[in-house]
Amino acid sequence: MEREIATRIIGEFSRSLLESLELEVVVVGAGPAGLTAARYLASRGVRTAVFERNLWVGGGMWGGGMLFPRIAVEREAAPLLEEVGVRLRGEGELLTADAVEAVAKCTSSAIDAGARILVGLEAEDLVVKEGRVCGVVVNWRAVSLSRLHVDPVGVLARVVIDSTGHEASLARMLEKKVPDVRFPTPTGKMMGEGPMFAERAEEEVVRYTSEVYPGLIVAGMAVGAVFGLPRMGPVFGGMLLSGRRAAELALQRLGR
């Protein structure tokens, strides 16, 4: 039985990984924006995989506000949770949801739509050819944590979505590795995230969700880090709407 267990696990994941080496869209970061983008893309038949460096998904949703496992969401964004079965409570323009329920249902709905989610794998570099991002370079997160020298492998994609949160790690990596890169910001460089201003942040994180370099779209808190937007705290409507907007932009880029 031991051999059969190992054979099934290794064989099944190897198949999944091999099928993820060339995709239409790669999403990096399985937070609310990344999961929403992946669900929308996969539901439209786009070959999509999400790479998440942690062994868990959900980004900042788990902790809710100050470890109170509840999240807030504006009524405008409520349909994005309701359509995956998340129960919302409250009246007026601001509603609440159970953080655990939101993570679980956003994740399961993305998988049900056909997205593949691979945990424990981080994007440590980008594939850039002729002035365009055309993939990511991945390795096991455990390798970087252990500081071992192990070469990564490339994953090709027509579009890459950076939904890595406050770090905006893909955009930051691109700025470091391609010195002449110019982002569509006032300085042409990453602006860094500003202090909290929830109303403005929620509006602008959706408005500024965009393709910041050919082949690279930023979504969620990565948008704030690139464009110098305020942070918003434990309200997630902007994250969800940004994820949907990123998917729409990716579909346009794919000609769908």
Q: pLDDT tens digit string along 186-214?
A: 999 999 999 999 999 999 999 999 999 99
Cα gap 34→28, rounded to integer Å? 7
Which pLDDT belongs to residue 125?
97
Mean pLDDT, rounded, for 234-248:
98
Report yes or no: 121 and 140 within 8 Å, Cβ to Cβ: yes
Is 97 buried (19+), middle (13-18) or exposed (0-12) by CB count in 10 A? buried
Is the pTM higher than 0.75?
Answer: yes
Q: Up-side HSE of residue 165: CA atoms within 13 Å toward CB?
A: 15
Token duo for residue 248: 């729409």
Mean pLDDT, rounded, for 136-156:
97
- For the chain, count helices (H), then strands (E): 9, 11
Amino acid at 162: D
User: Which one, of 215, 163, 158, lies nearest residue 22 by Cα?
Assistant: 158
Question: Under DSSP, is residue 54 helix (H, G, I), strand (E, B) or coil?
Answer: coil
Domain ranges within the chain, ordered by starting residue: 26-62+115-254
Cα gap 49→25, rounded to integer Å? 7
Q: Top-level CATH class of 26-62+115-254?
A: alpha beta
Token duo for residue 238: 């902007």
Cα gap 26→35, rounded to integer Å? 12
Question: Under DSSP, is residue 194 helix (H, G, I), strand (E, B) or coil?
Answer: coil
pLDDT tens-place string over residues 65-124: 999 999 999 999 999 999 999 999 999 999 999 999 999 999 999 999 999 999 999 999
Token duo for residue 143: 């390798």
Q: How many residues does the chain have?
A: 256
Cα gap 81→97, rounded to integer Å? 9
Angle, alpha carbons 55-59-65 (nearest 5°): 130
